[in-house]
Chain A
Amino acid sequence: MRKIVAAAFALCAMVLTLPALAQTPPNVLIVGQIAEPKSLDPQAVTATNDFRILVNVYDGLVRFKKGTLEIEPALARSWDISEDGTTYTFHLREDVTFQDGTPFDAEAVKFTFDRMLKDDHPFHDTGPFPLAFFFSQVEDVTARDAQTVVFKLKEPFAPFLSNLAYPTGLIVSPAAVKEHGQDFGRNPVGTGAFKFEGWDPNSKVVVSRNDEYWDGAPQLEAIVFRPIADANTRVAEMLSGGIDLMVEVPPDSLNQFREDENYSVYEEAGPHLWFLILNTKEGPFSDKRVRQAVNYAIDKKALTEDVLQGTATVAAGPIPGAFEWANDGSVEPYPYDPEKAKELIREAGAEGKTLTFYVPEGGSGMLDPVAMATAIQADLKKVGLDARIQTYEWNTYLANVNPGLEGKADMAEMAWMTNDPDTLPFLALRTDAMPDKGGFNSGYYSNPEVDRLLDEARKTTDQEKRGELYGQVQQIVHDDAPWAFIANWKQNAVSTAGVQGFELEPSFLLVLKDVTKG
């Protein structure tokens, strides 16, 4: 018995003398992620969490310019677009090799896209590729010579370049795909600033500096991505020194970090929109005045500043302000004006109407859906509308809302994060995007002028002209009020003070090439 006790004490002593946390090693950045990645195959994944690793391992033909949502050259030095907007010719860099030593050339680009888009490609079975429809307009890809690749589109499609800058358009090493097949996602090879080193399930993904990087080798020796799903645990790891950088900080903790000089806080509004879909087909919201009244009645400032504790800004219309080139700033958010709302409701004869309000319990980009719903319900009560909340688990919710609200609900919460101003209105506001036609127009909004403008914007390759068209869309939709426009989420991050050169991108991607750790 004595011996056992003595042994137990010895063991305790040994455990206690272990350094509680090996301080994070110098020049290695440890990033607290929100979940285990699914795969590191850029064409196979859909989650921002996975994209945050991918953009450091791979490059695309083009990329978002730092701090903006504008396109700049990456693996393609330059490109030409044909008059009719259906042929894109990219001129590639000559000095690039993949991290496995094989050369980057036009054939690699063709391989990347054919694998994703062609059912009969020998490596198509390394999928599925859920976001392949981003490139559904691509008819074929040809390697004209080693440094020239030509994309032929079925019809003009202006968002094509932003889709190429999205992680789904990152270029993979054909040799590595051929070698690893189905397991390529666990043995990724690209041309990026960091090369893949290893992946311990549930513990870490490690990438190390690519000394041969064509755009200048990064200073960090390595980055470790740790999945820490629970937000409070992520905060505790940050406070105890287990990570150097964390994303998606809970609002409560953000203020704590802000007041502590050992940490730096980052915030950046992104192309995100949080809104209420209003059922324009039946019930009170078939009257435009009631829809506008709801927009006036909701105190969006109180929502973003109190409920969301400053982690979002007030939204003006369907196109988030982060798309600077598509916003001329002429559309202002609906002001908080309960009197005006009451007046409109009276005019429409909708006083005291009961509304069914669908609310998810959580979900991607939904912020704090239940608390927000309760605040909105209270605001509507003040102007004489009785909203009845029904909550659902996220996937159940989508299965309920996406087929359309008819016969079920008057309003429903929704949030989207996109990479081009075209995406959300095109998929959720057009007459041809009604649920029975495979779109997300669950509130049945229809305005032929908006349809025409969106179609035209899609065919216009000149960015300035496109921007003007979206400006008009913004104005009309704002006035028609098929949605209640509530908030644009600001993504946030916290790092230790020693981390320098880090910036959040409006694209919500996590580019770590220029980061140093002192």
Chain B
Amino acid sequence: MTATIAKRLLAAIPVLFGLSLVVFGMIALIPGDPATAILGSYATPENVARLNASLGLDKSLPQQYLAWISGVVTGDFGRSYALNRPVIDIVLERFSATLLLAGASLLLATIFGLLAGIVSAVRQFGLADKAITLVVLIGISVPSFWLGLLLILFFAVRIKLFPASGMVAIYGGGGPLDILHHLVLPAITLALVATGVIARLTRTAMLEVLRQDYIRTARAKGLTERRVIYRHAFMAALVSVIPVIGIQAGFVLGGAVYVETVFQWPGIGAMLVNAISQRDILLVQGGVLVVAASYVLFNLLADVCQTLLDPRLK
């Protein structure tokens, strides 16, 4: 097991390296440069050349890449042009905010997705099943940026129950409860689609399992219905649901961009969008590398969980 994990981690290194090359190449290929973005209206060729020189961007592309990668190996990700701070500080700060948001959403999505899936499988074609299917369908279809605005309008503007934006209160904020208070609306918004997907798949997996012979055997042995469903059927269904949750983790991280923008959540998605439009190449590189590394880790984590749960894979 440990050997497998180590092997998977080692295999990630060339992936990340290749990715950094591709991202660097793409940013270098699109027109416009940081100096043009910084100077805006005043970007005369002369001013651009002078500013590029002082930013160290007058060197050849391979030279720039080499300078960057040799820094990264020693833990130095460079300094952002647009925000004038070390890239690693910004990326870690932003990424932890995204992780918190995505983590909370995934937790919500998993709990409610599994519950809804189980209920609608057990009560197949019943009223509960129909209601859940309808809600799930709406949840999957509603765009998150629109839902987010609706939630803000109702819960922040109308009944003033939750704050409209941000991660901490401007005065006396920063405690765990305060952050949780700010987290509720964005987490629900982000969780909705994933909840729907997980619920749908749990329902299908449960229905499949419930038709198997050993479930009939379990019932015939006289086990309580509760025990049959949660111990025998659910545990078996979980094996096929876990990889879906792993994939949803990726979608939640990706979907966070919209939610972060609407709720002004200081996460890495909104930061990356900004950094790209500013041609802030070092910040984009650093951000992408961290996000990519986390994808690799999440997938690995999902695989490990699956192996632990599925006796056949052990």
CB–CB B166/A38 < 8 A: no
Nearest A residue to B166 by beta-carbon distance? Answer: A203
Q: Given B43, B45, B165, B172, which contacts A233 in the complex, CB threshold below 8 Å?
A: B165
Query: With A15-B184, A203-B266 in contact, do A242 and B44 touch (Cβ < 8 Å)?
Result: no
Q: Given A36, A46, A200, A229, which contacts B83 in the complex, CB threshold below 8 Å?
A: A36
Q: What 0/1 readout, one digit per residue, does chain A (14-40) give for beta carbons within 8 Å of chain B?
A: 111010111011000010000010110
Query: With A224-B170, A395-B32 in contact, do A438 and B46 touch (Cβ < 8 Å)?
Result: yes
Chain A residues with CB under 8 Å of B85's CB are 186, 201
Interface residue? A359 (CB, 8 A): no
Chain B residues with CB under 8 Å of A133's CB are 42, 46-47
Interface residue? B51 (CB, 8 A): yes
Q: In the complex, which residues 183-207 of chain A have their Cβ closer than 8 Å to any Cβ of chain B?
A: 185-186, 200-204
Interface residue? A11 (CB, 8 A): yes
Query: With A15-B181, A15-B184, A46-B39 in contact, do A239 and B157 touch (Cβ < 8 Å)?
Result: yes
Interface residue? A446 (CB, 8 A): no
Q: What 0/1 readout, one digit per residue, does chain B (91-123) give for beta carbons within 8 Å of chain A?
A: 001100100000000000000000000000000
CB–CB A185/B45 < 8 A: no
Q: Given A14, A36, A131, A200, which contacts B42 in the complex, CB threshold below 8 Å?
A: A131
CB–CB A204/B170 < 8 A: yes
Nearest B residue to A237 by beta-carbon distance? Answer: B164
Using C-beta atoms within 8 Å of the partner chain, give the interface range for chain B. 35 or more
Q: In the complex, which residues 26-67 of chain B have their Cβ closer than 8 Å to any Cβ of chain A?
A: 30-33, 35-47, 51, 54-55
Nearest A residue to B42 by beta-carbon distance? Answer: A131
Interface residue? A302 (CB, 8 A): no
Chain A residues with CB under 8 Å of B292's CB are none
Among the interface residues A128, A224, A435, which one has the most CB atoms of the partner chain B within 10 A? A128
Q: What 0/1 readout, one digit per residue, does chain A (144-159) give for beta carbons within 8 Å of chain B?
A: 0000000000000000
Q: In the complex, which residues 151-188 of chain B have their Cβ closer than 8 Å to any Cβ of chain A?
A: 152-153, 156-157, 160-172, 177-178, 180-181, 184
Q: In the complex, which residues 71-94 of chain B have their Cβ closer than 8 Å to any Cβ of chain A?
A: 82-85, 90, 93-94
Interface residue? B277 (CB, 8 A): yes
Interface residue? A257 (CB, 8 A): no
CB–CB B161/A20 < 8 A: yes
Docked CA distance A20–B173 (Å): 12
Interface residue? B19 (CB, 8 A): no
CB–CB A18/B84 < 8 A: no
The smallest beta-carbon distance between B113 and chain A, in angstroms, is 17
Chain A residues with CB under 8 Å of B153's CB are 236
Interface residue? B149 (CB, 8 A): yes
Nearest B residue to A48 by beta-carbon distance? Answer: B40
Chain B residues with CB under 8 Å of A204's CB are 170
Chain A residues with CB under 8 Å of B249's CB are none
CB–CB A395/B36 < 8 A: yes
Docked CA distance A417–B41 (Å): 8
Docked CA distance A318–B246 (Å): 58
Query: With A20-B156, A130-B38 in contact, do A230 and B168 touch (Cβ < 8 Å)?
Result: no
Select the stretch in A56-64, A102-110, A320-328, A396-404 that faces chain B.
Answer: A396-404
Q: What 0/1 readout, one digit per residue, does chain A (199-217) give for beta carbons within 8 Å of chain B?
A: 0111110000000000000
CB–CB A201/B181 < 8 A: no
Docked CA distance A389–B258 (Å): 28
Query: With A130-B38, A185-B84, A242-B164 in contact, do A233 and B262 touch (Cβ < 8 Å)?
Result: yes
Q: Given B51, B160, B177, which contacts A130 in the complex, CB threshold below 8 Å?
A: B51
Q: Given A20, A229, A365, A398, which contacts B270 in the complex, CB threshold below 8 Å?
A: A229
CB–CB B90/A241 < 8 A: no
Chain B residues with CB under 8 Å of A230's CB are 261-262, 264
Docked CA distance A240–B151 (Å): 13
CB–CB A130/B45 < 8 A: no
The smallest beta-carbon distance between B95 and chain A, in angstroms, is 12
Interface residue? A249 (CB, 8 A): no
Nearest B residue to A28 by beta-carbon distance? Answer: B171
CB–CB A25/B156 < 8 A: no
Docked CA distance A232–B262 (Å): 8
CB–CB B32/A396 < 8 A: yes
Chain A residues with CB under 8 Å of B274's CB are 229
Chain A residues with CB under 8 Å of B51's CB are 128, 130
Docked CA distance A214–B175 (Å): 39
Instruction: Give the total of A residues in contact with B, Cβ under 8 Å.
Output: 60
Chain B residues with CB under 8 Å of A435's CB are 45
Chain A residues with CB under 8 Å of B279's CB are 395
Nearest A residue to B163 by beta-carbon distance? Answer: A21
The smallest beta-carbon distance between A454 and chain B, in angstroms, is 17
Docked CA distance A402–B45 (Å): 9
Nearest B residue to A131 by beta-carbon distance? Answer: B42
CB–CB B164/A399 < 8 A: no
Interface residue? B263 (CB, 8 A): yes
The smallest beta-carbon distance between B267 and chain A, in angstroms, is 9
Chain A residues with CB under 8 Å of B270's CB are 229
Interface residue? A305 (CB, 8 A): no
Docked CA distance A11–B183 (Å): 13
Q: Given B44, B167, B172, which contacts A203 in the complex, CB threshold below 8 Å?
A: B167
Chain B residues with CB under 8 Å of A46's CB are 38-40, 42
Chain A residues with CB under 8 Å of B160's CB are 20-21, 240-241
Interface residue? A226 (CB, 8 A): yes
Interface residue? A309 (CB, 8 A): no
Docked CA distance A140–B81 (Å): 29
CB–CB B171/A402 < 8 A: no
Chain A residues with CB under 8 Å of B184's CB are 15
Query: With A46-B40, A127-B54, A204-B170 in contact, do A236 and B84 touch (Cβ < 8 Å)?
Result: no
Chain B residues with CB under 8 Å of A262's CB are none
CB–CB B163/A242 < 8 A: yes
Chain B residues with CB under 8 Å of A16's CB are 161
Q: In the complex, which residues 123-151 of chain A have their Cβ closer than 8 Å to any Cβ of chain B?
A: 127-128, 130-131, 133
CB–CB B32/A22 < 8 A: no
Q: In the complex, which residues 267-311 of chain A have their Cβ closer than 8 Å to any Cβ of chain B?
A: none
Query: With A128-B55, A395-B277 in contact, do A226 and B31 touch (Cβ < 8 Å)?
Result: no
CB–CB B83/A38 < 8 A: yes
Query: With A20-B163, A438-B44 in contact, do A15 and B54 touch (Cβ < 8 Å)?
Result: no
Given contacts A46-B38, A233-B262, 7 further A-B contacts (CB under 8 A): A30-B170, A202-B266, A236-B152, A236-B165, A239-B164, A398-B43, A402-B43
What are 11 of the A-B contact pairs (CB < 8 Å)?
Answer: A36-B83, A38-B82, A46-B42, A47-B40, A130-B35, A131-B42, A233-B262, A236-B157, A242-B163, A394-B277, A399-B33
Interface residues of B (CB under 8 A from A): 30-33, 35-47, 51, 54-55, 82-85, 90, 93-94, 97, 149, 152-153, 156-157, 160-172, 177-178, 180-181, 184, 261-264, 266, 270, 274, 277, 279
Interface residues of A (CB under 8 A from B): 11, 14-16, 18, 20-22, 24-25, 30, 36, 38-39, 44, 46-47, 127-128, 130-131, 133, 185-186, 200-204, 224, 226-230, 232-233, 236-237, 239-242, 364-365, 393-396, 398-400, 402, 416-417, 427, 435, 438-440
Task: List the 5 closest A-B pairs by CB distance, nearest first.
Answer: A395-B32, A202-B266, A399-B31, A128-B54, A20-B160
